[in-house]
Amino acid sequence: MKVNLMHGAGGEVMGELLQTLTKFKHNNAGGIGLEALDDGAVIPLNGMNIVFTTDSHVVRPVFFPGGDIGRIAVCGTINDLAMMGGRPVALSCGMIIEEGFEVADLARIVASMDEALGEAGASLVTGDTKVMEKGAIDGIVINTAGIGIARNVVRDNGLVPGDAIIVSGTLGDHGIAIMAHREGFDLGEQIRSDVAPLWGMMEQVLDAAPVHAMKDPTRGGFASAINEMARKSGVSVRIQEENIPIRKNVRSAAAMLGIDPLEVANEGKVVMGVPPSCVDEVINALRSHKYGKDAAVVGVVTKGSYVIMETSIGGERFIEPPMGDPVPRVC
């Protein structure tokens, strides 16, 4: 077997590759490590929960409606920390830059990163730069790693029957925005990426109520995230199609492109499971923040081992985990 693009797309095919990439015996420092395949690791230290994560970013195009590769790099790492309950503290940044890349574009990327860091209350504290000959890479690759501190660690495997499934906003915005832009559709500013640092919003949620499990639906989208959460938790999830927030223009563009908006990456959304008694508190906390205005309850956790959608016409269908993200090079 040889590696292909589907192996990096966040779906079932990537899971096959991870069987090779995660064969480390030294994979845990006494907390939650690589074996958990969560959004990050948790390392207990002097009574604190240190959350650590890393991510690499290969976005094409580098600049797109609503963001750029620099904003995704910072927000992706901040959000992975936040998904485990971690307040972001410090990030690193490694850039691999193709010879001939415009310095003005680098300055624009750095400014975008700095803005996202300021919004999240974190700092970039160390980094590394390499330059490759022209043609060796496609413009620029950015790796970011981050550390945070969690009062209470949240996992992606904590769903229990009875939990309400909540999404923090409209789905499919990022992947469809990039794909439409990449294909040359002139949609103006109608469809924009949702890329955003989510710690401020999640801090409000975690202060308001307990969260049993959460994940950001990046590669593979909502379909991948909810299936992974259900599988790890050993439960079923029933989703009500009519409750899923998807913008009309995103739905229309997805139909033109032949893409399911539930299977494309989001860069500023959260999927979470919360106790039914806490739904109002969580929804209010989400909707009080600018990134959670469109939050909605979309389903419920039950016993079993499937993710099922109750369709708007009264039927049912399985939400299968995608083989891979249908829009490559989006994060």
- Domains, in order of start, for the chain: 5-150 (3.30.1330.10), 164-318 (3.90.650.10)
Q: What is the pLDDT of residues 291-330, one digit of tens each?
A: 999 999 999 999 999 999 999 898 999 999 887 666 667 7
Task: Give the rounded percent of residues in the chain with a pLDDT score beyond 90.
Answer: 73
Is 188's pLDDT higher than 60?
no
What confidence tens digit (pLDDT) does each residue in 30-57 have? 667 667 666 788 888 888 899 999 999 9
Which residues are within 8 A (CB) of 190 and not within 5 positions of it... i.e. 6 or more apart?
A: 249
Q: Most distant CA pair in the chain: distance in Å?
A: 57
Q: What is the pLDDT of residues 236-245, one digit of tens each?
A: 999 999 999 9
Among 152, 199, 200, which Cα is nearest to 49's?
Answer: 152
Average the pLDDT over each of 172-176, 188-192, 224-228, 264-268 and give the range with the smallest value.
188-192
Higher pLDDT, 173 or 328: 173
State the pTM of this model: 0.91
pLDDT at position 319 is 94
